Amino acid sequence: MKLRASWVIALMFAGTGASCAAPLSVWSHFIGADADWLRAQAGAFTFRTGQHITIHAVSFDEAVTSFMGDERPEGIPAPDLFVGVPHDYLARSVQAGVVAPLNSFKLDSADDALALTAMEFAGKQYGLPLAAEAVALVYNRKLVGTPPRTWQDFLNAARLNTWGGRFGVVWDARNPYLNYGLIAAYGGYVFGRRNGEPDSQDIGLASPGAVKAAALLNDLIYRDRMLTAHVDDEAAKRLFLEGKAAMFLAGPWDMADLVLAGMDFGLVPLPSPPGATHEWSPFVSVYGVFVSAASTQQTEAAQFARQLTGREAQVALATAGGRIPASSKARADLRNNSVVSSFDEVILRGTLIPHLTDNNFLWQPWGEAMNAVMAQPQPNYTQILSRAVEQMKAALKR
């Protein structure tokens, strides 16, 4: 997400039974329709409970760094509640003592097991799920008449639309986040499991499945001439919007641009590749609402968190700003929304991004390895990926 300038909006609603307690301080990076939704939710909460709320709008980077216990913006009151932070930052936040466990509040949830698991760390629940993200295969209905549900359908559609400077399919083949679904389809993984817990010494990104996925991507570039090694995410979307690419991998964050451009598009999971032992299973990120461990109003903050993440509130957020609900029940309520229903199919088969105490230990060496894999035809995949895994293990020991 792009860095946005910090801004502050204060909500002081005069509701019935107004409380003399200090206003809840809520931090969020939401803008536009998402921010409007949050203001409306705050107003409803104040009217119902008398508890005033002040929303402090900060950039995504400011929200995340503060959530992890790093630098906090000056001049903004400390938060009682963080709204919209991805779950893969949770482990570091717990270690830094920033976020409070919610087990004692005995909050029920509208969400399914996948979303709730994202909010848990070391056996405790630390947040409530609000929205979810994953990537799907987006296709231009004017160029791809039938949704590609098999790998052969996908290849046929790509070949038919690869000609004269046009691309059948584009995505950043160097991006580990985009490519994880293929790795999982072949049986690769980030962390293995030991006694039901992630095993950081069993990193499966140089496993036979990961090697097969790397070889497949390399073949799509150099043998089949379908993918290109020199397209980043923004370029891929631009080519699709210009009608120069028939398909690309995209997330919910891309949908507004496609709708604004008047694109006639559909979404499906990327089909499982040949020889795969599993379905394509992309990474899923869950955005949550978290109570600050330093808050003196944790009960009130938890109550507002519960309202924000309720089924009706998630439906309202999706309707307002296009975010995909974390709750499978809320997504079912939006079954007539083709975008939500398509991402529902993807999320249900997806894999949670693992909880990481240091994001750089994973993404940097993995990204460098994928760059090397795509730099030339048929390199030594095992050697490249094994070197990256050794770098990850060494970083974990430091």
pLDDT single digits (tens) 208-229? 999 999 999 999 999 999 999 8
* 136-283+355-397 placed in CATH 3.40.190.10: yes
Q: Does the structure show a pLDDT above 70 at 111?
A: no
Within 14-139, residue ranges assigned H as helices are: 32-49, 60-67, 90-95, 113-118
156: left (phi over 0), alpha (psi -120 to 50) or beta: alpha
Average pLDDT, the chain: 91
Mean pLDDT of 320-327: 95
Please determine, for residue 149, whether its predicted confidence score (pLDDT) is greater than 90: yes
Does residue 364 surpass a pLDDT of 70? yes
Supply the pLDDT for residue 3: 34
Is residue 7 pLDDT above 70, yes or no?
no
pLDDT at 177: 97
Cα separation, 105 vs 262, in Å, equals: 46
**CATH fold match for the domains 7-133+285-352 and 136-283+355-397:** yes
Instruction: Estimate the share of the chain in helix, then strand, then coil, as percent rounded to the nearest 5.
Output: 40, 20, 40
User: What is the separation of C-alpha 360 from the centre of its chain, rounded to a whole number of angstroms?
Assistant: 17
What fold does the segment set 7-133+285-352 form as a domain?
A: D-Maltodextrin-Binding Protein; domain 2 (3.40.190)
Q: What is the pTM of this model?
A: 0.91
pLDDT exceeds cutoff 60 at 207: yes
245-261: average pLDDT = 97
Residue 37's contacts (CB-CB under 8 Å, 6 or more residues apart) are 30, 316, 317, 320, 321
* Percent of the chain whose predicted confidence (pLDDT) is above 90: 81
Quote the pLDDT of residue 348: 95
Dump pLDDT digits (tens) for 113-145: 889 899 999 889 999 999 999 999 999 999 999
* pLDDT greater than 90 at residue 90: yes
pLDDT at 199: 86
Is the predicted pLDDT of residue 361 greater than 90, yes or no?
Answer: no
- pLDDT, average across residues 359-382: 95
For residue 18, the model assigns a pLDDT of 43
Residue 358 confidence class, pLDDT cut points 50, 70, 90: confident
Q: What is the pLDDT of residue 19?
A: 47
In the chain, domain spans = 7-133+285-352, 136-283+355-397
- Beta-sheet pairing, 127-133 with 283-291: antiparallel
Q: How many CB atoms lie within 10 A of CB 95?
A: 15
At residue 13, the pLDDT reads: 36
Looking at the predicted structure, is the pLDDT value of residue 180 above 50? yes
